[in-house]
Amino acid sequence: MLGRLNHVAIAVPDLAAASAVYAKTLEAEVSTPVDLYDHGVRVVFVHLPNTKIELLEPLGDDSPIARFLEKNPAGGMHHLCYEVADIIAARNHLLAQGHASWEMGSLRLVRTAGRYCFCTLRTSAVRLLSWSRSEIFC
């Protein structure tokens, strides 16, 4: 059902500082920050040879990431994102297994149309992606 790991998302209290650690200390390529107002976050992607790291910073106090950081002030892993060929079938499979708490939506940071769904599993948050091209993030 699941394809490859697309990215690991990490909530951070200071996006500029976290980006600098990846860019300078680890010599990784870090994208330009993008504000995703619909999701209440500012994001960057750290490009690695086999996946990406998404760093998330809240845009305001009502952001889901702000609430996450209230519980985890130093930040931490927010979700894992897996690629799937059929997002509806993957969603239905996980729902049939008793996993709920879904958010469906359209990707904002993409070159082509795509969809995501967000599922909170008992052990971690999982985001599933489905789209028409393999390279979707700017």
In whole angstroms, what is the distance from residue 119 CA to residue 126 CA?
Answer: 5
Within a domain: residue 137? no
Q: What pLDDT, on a 0 to 100 scale, did the predictor assign at position 70?
A: 94
The candidate with the shortest Cα–Cα distance to 18, out of 63, 74, 81, 80, is 74
User: The domain spanning residue 66 has which CATH number?
Assistant: 3.10.180.10
Structural domain including 83 reads 5-131
**121 pLDDT more than 60:** no
Mean pLDDT value of segment 127-135: 42
138 domain-assigned: no
The whole model's pTM is what? 0.76
- For residue 124, give both structure tokens: 């971690």
Averaged pLDDT, 38-55 = 91
User: Per residue in 58-117, pLDDT tens?
Assistant: 999 999 899 989 999 999 988 877 777 777 777 777 777 765 455 544 433 333 345 555
H/E stretch holding 119 reads strand 114-120
Question: Average pLDDT in the 37-57 region?
Answer: 91
Q: Into how many domains does the chain fold?
A: 1
Burial class (CB in 10 A: 0-12, 13-18, 19+), 8: middle
Q: What are the strands, taking DSSP E only, across 17-112?
A: 29-30, 34-36, 41-47, 52-58, 76-83, 102-106
Has residue 51 been placed in a domain? yes
* CA-CA-CA-CA dihedral for 82, 86, 92, 93, to nearest 10: -60
